[in-house]
Amino acid sequence: MNRDLEDIAHCLQNVGAGWGDDSDVVLTHAHPDHLGGLDDILTRTTGVAVWAGEGESGVMVLGGEI
């Protein structure tokens, strides 16, 4: 697991949650530091909604709809 995913997992654990408790991911903008781990997060979760601004969603290619 990369460092960012470890940090997210640690934060989830601190609030008594895990990957299976996630329901939504909100992307503030389409910079690599915000999108870089999205595929990894989506492989660890199920049924998660990904939210992004209308202007940002056009630059994101996830193999599905946003």
Please indicate, yes or no, if residue 47 is contained in any of the structural domains.
Answer: yes
CA 56 – CA 47 distance, rounded (Å): 21
Please indicate, yes or no, if residue 37 is contained in any of the structural domains.
Answer: yes
Please indicate, yes or no, if residue 66 is contained in any of the structural domains.
Answer: no
Strand partners for 26: 51
Range of the domain at 11: 3-57
Q: How confident is the model at residue 30 (pLDDT cuts 50, 70, 90)?
A: confident
Q: How confident is the model at residue 21 (pLDDT cuts 50, 70, 90)?
A: very high
CA 48 – CA 22 distance, rounded (Å): 7
Q: How confident is the model at residue 64 (pLDDT cuts 50, 70, 90)?
A: very low
CA 64 – CA 57 distance, rounded (Å): 11
Please indicate, yes or no, if residue 63 is contained in any of the structural domains.
Answer: no
Please indicate, yes or no, if residue 45 is contained in any of the structural domains.
Answer: yes
State whether residue 26 is helix, strand or coil: strand
Average pLDDT, the chain: 81
What is the structure's pLDDT at 12?
A: 94
Please indicate, yes or no, if residue 35 is contained in any of the structural domains.
Answer: yes
What total number of domains does the chain contain?
A: 1
- Note the pLDDT tens digit of each residue in 34-46: 677 788 888 999 9
Q: Taking the alpha carbons of 38, 39, 44, 48 in that order, is the dihedral positive or negative?
A: positive
Please indicate, yes or no, if residue 22 is contained in any of the structural domains.
Answer: yes
